[in-house]
Amino acid sequence: MNFPIFERKIKNKMLKTIIVDDEDHVRGTLGKFLEKYCPKVTIAGEAGSVQEAYEVISKIQPDLVLLDIQLGDGTGFDLLKKFELPPFKVIFITAHDEFAVQAFKVSALDFILKPVNPIELQEALTKAQQVLQDELRIKLEALETNLQKENSAGKKIVIKTLENIYVIDTNDIVYCESDGSYTTIFTIENETIVSSKPIKEYDELLTTYGFFRVHRSYLINLAFIKRFEKQDGGYVILSENAKVPVASRKRDELIELLDHISG
């Protein structure tokens, strides 16, 4: 199964980017550099503080954040702590090289020192573009695998709860819902299994078996999608009429996947 149109869209995907720095002139300079040297970047917003950045990111749902470390009301690390699992990539841009190790510990894609060299910025953005392309490609391959094995047994996984140990076929899982550090797993047999593992671990485990993270709190099995409802931000209706919200930043990607299932 080939998806040439989807592959082209992956390569041409624009990076929705937010610039976070407490100095107006720095944000302006970065914006000019991005416009001149990074044609695949769309500047979706700016912020000058931790709180403002949190509000802008929550509203816009960017792919990438260019993040200063020292902000007026805290640090870039304080901002990242506000997200259980940051749904965006980060490139730190700072005048303080002593934070480099800490930056990479929070999985930053790159660390650029001020004053910013535009070529170094361009290289960092190219890296970010490649990482996001690779992640989309992995999801596409997972979808293809799921469709090819739709009628075969999936992988058996073990789910431990306080009272039981379950052995579940991945093909029998309809969706997973996060509840803080716990995850509730809903099966085709209308079982609900509460696991003490966070949904992040199930996302990593099940992605290669045709599952897709439509929302920070929901991981769905693509084989059980009945329809996508566009109103109220977007929902997917799964088997047994389960209704799961779709995050705005995941909407276009999910629609692309559904287009190519039908195509």
User: Is a pLDDT exceeding 90 seen at residue 240?
Assistant: no
Asked if 103 and 111 count as a contact pair (C-beta separation under 8 A), the reply is yes
**Mean pLDDT throughout 62-86?**
89
Q: Which residue has the higher pLDDT, 263 or 204?
A: 204
Rounded to an integer, the average pLDDT of 40-68 is: 92
Q: Check pLDDT > 70 for residue 146.
A: no
pLDDT at 217 over 90: yes
CA–CA separation, 223 and 156 (whole Å)? 17
According to the model, what pLDDT value does residue 61 have?
85
Residue type at 195 in one-letter notation: S
Percentage of the chain exceeding pLDDT 70: 84
**Which residues lie below 8 Å from residue 222, measured CB to CB, with a gap of 6+?**
143, 146, 210, 211, 212, 257, 261
pTM recorded for the entire structure: 0.57
H/E stretch holding 28: helix 24-37
Q: Which CATH number fits domain 4-144: 2.60.40.10, 3.30.565.10, 1.20.1050.10, 3.40.50.2300?
A: 3.40.50.2300
Query: Which residue's structure tokens are 């799921």?
Result: 146
| Domain segments of the chain as ranges | 4-144, 156-262
CATH architecture of 156-262: Beta Barrel (2.40)
